[in-house]
Structure 1
Amino acid sequence: MTTDALHLTPELVENPVGAYADLRSRPGLGHVVLPGLDTPVRLVTRHEDVKAALTEPRLVRDRSTVADSEMPDPQAELLASGLEGIPEEYVQYLSGHLALFDGDEHTRRRSPLTRAFTARRVAALRPFVEKTARELIETLADREQADLLGEFAYPLSTAVICALVGVDAADQDKVCGWIRDFAYGDGSRVLEGLGGVVEYTKDLVARRRTEPTDDLVSALLADGGMTDDEIVTVFFLLINTGITPPALFLAHAVLALLDHPDQLEKLRAEPELLARAVPELLRHVTLVRMGATLYATEDFVFAGAQLKKGEAVTVALFAADHDPAAYDIPERLDVTREFGRGDGHLAFGHGPHYCIGAALGRLVTGVVFEELLVRRSAAPELAVDRADVQFGHWPGDGFHLLSLPVRL
């Protein structure tokens, strides 16, 4: 199987008109090896097929439910590298990700979070997001150079998640420091950050049980659908999905606008275009390039390919959001682009695993674009040559910014 698999590089994964265009043109589903991995997987790249895969009941997330399968497993390879060196007592909090469950178990774990993650709770965060964004911008505005990712997007996303969960104001600097060490620091204090967050969240759950407030932890306790350990796991779910991806998206979206100055100028001249620009940038960037691994529960034909029981399938969300069959000139950033019903893109996924935090992501993005790009007298400028902007990559995914030096 591996002999004819296409080995994707981070550069190919990042290029919507490169390898993806070739894969989309091929019949069926090709075998590929994702960047940094060794295990082949069937890759779904066409928009229509990606949506179908994300709602196909014969493609599941939990491989343990597929009996008697010895097919190669890229997800196991990826998880093993991510959990390497993590103490056993903490593994449960990192391996209980909602994306890895299906059916009734997924519903049991997701439903309390969905009930607690109300539109009112998200909307109530707007003043906090606005205040935090303005303060961060003011702090960085007089600097000759500022890192929009490390000094703005990450701190903002971290503060928002802390406020949502219910971290007490007096503890936020300490907890945000642990989150930074665990999620996006230099790697030297990952275990200290992990331990700090776990123990703090356990204590927070105990305190909120006797003294509830209007926060997510209190709402989950009142709902009664989760154990204490599962609530701790929720905090890590929010750290892993609600901090790094949104922070990277904000930086990549700003870079995309700087790469398309005509679109930035149009947005600044017509702020009402924000309602279209946010989904268009979500589509254009599609920060999570690859979805979770899916496994065939039986032998069946999908998207023109004969799948074997236990065979691994991955959806390329970035490819789907740049499919010319779904979008007119998809590689073009167009802040006036109109979408039909729904999101108009797959950046938040589709189907039962659609991103719980999508509404919060849209709120934060809208606030940031308004405060950073529209309200200010001058737009941000790159503080280095475009060729000197630094990128890195994670196993199984594409390029991501390491920093974004700008002048505000």
Structure 2
Amino acid sequence: MTSHHATTPAAGTRPVHLTPELVEDPVGAYAEFRAQERLPQVVLPGLQTPVRLVTRHTDVKAALTEPRLIRDRSKVPGGAGGADPQAELLEAAFAGFPADYAKYVSGHLALFDGEEHARLRVPLTRAFTARRIAALRPFVERVAEDLLSALAPKDEADLLGEFAYPLTTVVVCELVGIDDTDRDRVCAWIHDFAYGDGSRTVDGLVGIVDYVRELIARRRAEPTDDLISALIEGGRDGGDALTEDELISVVFLLISTGITPPALFLAHAVLALFDHPDQLARLRREPGLLDRVVPELLRHVSLVRIGASMYATEDFEFAGTPVKKGETVTVALLAADHDPREYGEGPERLDIARESGRGDGHLAFGHGPHYCLGAALGRLVTSVVLDRVLVRRPETALAVDRGELEFGHWPGDGFHLLRLPVRLCADAPGRSMDA
């Protein structure tokens, strides 16, 4: 990850205004917050509304399973007054979208609770089977290799824009079931909507919605072995049938969570290994460590640094802090994944041989009812990418000085890579995780 130096504002009765530098610094402010008896009040970058920030690993896990902390603010008994940081983020993200289309991207599964959340999530969980994900590996390997082979002759290739984004886009199209003949234009709409320069975001949104509506009708008439067909068939088999609007929203959930965050993670994961050349050299010597390096990179990078807003349904005490009904609480996943109480001395160090312990060994995919549906797919794609980019191509390296890398940030978040220029090399036969 990029390293920034900033002075943490003194904690006190006033909210601490976090900068992007502080949000993405795994030590800095979070170490001070973890040491406090009570949860700090902070204002996230670019926002105005203070929130209670949970930073200790055990408290973050508890918050993500606490029934008195909900995602849907409208369900707070008696209503929640005052400003809403989640509304600020949504307004910043979806301003200017036509209302008839914006509903598909603003009705995010992460913002529902309880029975409503389960009704929408259960069919997706049933369709998102381990078999379906495992079957994608040959496809992911083929697409990754084709993209890298095309980029290898270039003196400099952008591993984010020319590889990670196209890879995650095509994988989502394959998972959803976009027909081969439609893939180029659908991928172009996804590019415009999800990670283009912003000039054609609305055009991309409209194109995707109208196409998915047609695709749903096609799959109702002639099902195939894809996610959309599985979701439709689940309703026919006695499960809760999703409406057309809900099916379209599911596709946007996959686009929103399955393309940009994974692509950025892949770029930051490769950069983290460049930043730790001893660990990269060890991975190349011992490719069998890939099973450990994937969870360690997920922990180390924790690309989603700050979780979704949650709202207290009543007055109660949480993590030694009185929380008022309607008050906003959020979790710092990056802070939790660098908590010395959980990971011992030096949790900021990347250690590819680190024992991950029980479960994932990190909270990068969240925890509890909202645990990331795409976790298995994320692990699969990461393993393939590290193998193909760094192990099979042992000369792959940064093409610019570290200080020349460009970063940007969104409201409420830290910095993210805008490009990752690398020099690739030809595939070295016989070098892989199976070597």
2:5 alignment partner in structure 1 = none
2:429 alignment partner in structure 1 = none
Number of residue pairs aligned between Structure 1 and Structure 2: 407
Q: Is the 8 A contact 2:39 2:52 kept in 1?
A: yes
Alignment of 1:174 onto 2:185: yes
Q: CA deviation at 1:3?
A: 6.8
Aligned match of 2:259 in 243, 252, 256? 243
* Structure 2 gap ranges (5+): 1-11, 236-240, 425-435
Q: Is the 8 A contact 1:71 1:311 kept in 2?
A: no
Alignment of 1:5 onto 2:27: no
Aligned match of 1:314 in 313, 317, 330? 330
1:293 alignment partner in structure 2 = 309
**Alpha-carbon distance in structure 2 between the residues aligned to 1:399 and 1:327:** 24
Q: CA deviation at 1:145?
A: 0.3
1:97-112 aligned within 5 A = 97-112=108-123
Alignment of 1:72 onto 2:64: no
2:38 alignment partner in structure 1 = 28
Aligned match of 1:396 in 390, 394, 412? 412
Alignment of 1:198 onto 2:215: no
Q: CA deviation at 1:80?
A: 1.4
Aligned match of 1:133 in 144, 152, 164? 144
CA deviation digits over 1:78-117, x for unaligned, max 9?
Answer: 1111121000101220122110000000000000100000
| 3-state secondary structure, aligned to 2:93 | helix
Q: CA deviation at 1:16?
A: 0.8
CA deviation digits over 1:56-88, x for unaligned, max 9?
Answer: 000000000002321432111111111210001
Q: CA deviation at 1:231?
A: 0.6
| 3-state secondary structure, aligned to 1:295 | strand
1:250 partner letter: L
CA deviation digits over 1:220-265, x for unaligned, max 9?
Answer: 1101121111111011000000000000000000000000000000
| 3-state secondary structure, aligned to 1:314 | strand
**Alpha-carbon distance in structure 2 between the residues aligned to 1:68 and 1:242:** 33
1:9-408 aligned within 5 A = 9-66=19-76, 67-224=78-235, 225-328=241-344, 329-376=346-393, 378-408=394-424
Q: CA deviation at 1:379?
A: 3.4
2:26 partner letter: P
**Alpha-carbon distance in structure 1 between the residues aligned to 2:317 and 2:125:** 33
TM-score for both structures, normalised by structure 1: 0.98
CA deviation digits over 1:16-38, x for unaligned, max 9?
Answer: 11111111111110100001111
**Alpha-carbon distance in structure 2 between the residues aligned to 1:279 and 1:375:** 20
| 3-state secondary structure, aligned to 2:331 | strand
**Alpha-carbon distance in structure 2 between the residues aligned to 1:60 and 1:17:** 28
Identify if the C-alpha distance between structure 1 residues 49 and 383 changes in structure 2 by more than 3 Å, giving closer, same or farther. Answer: same
Q: Is the 8 A contact 1:29 1:303 kept in 2?
A: yes
Q: Is the 8 A contact 2:74 2:80 kept in 1?
A: no
**Alpha-carbon distance in structure 1 between the residues aligned to 2:82 and 2:68:** 16
**Alpha-carbon distance in structure 1 between the residues aligned to 2:116 and 2:65:** 16
Q: Is the 8 A contact 1:72 1:311 kept in 2?
A: no
Q: Is the 8 A contact 1:72 1:312 kept in 2?
A: no
Q: CA deviation at 1:153?
A: 0.2
* Structure 1 gap ranges (5+): none
Residue identity over aligned pairs, in percent, reads 70
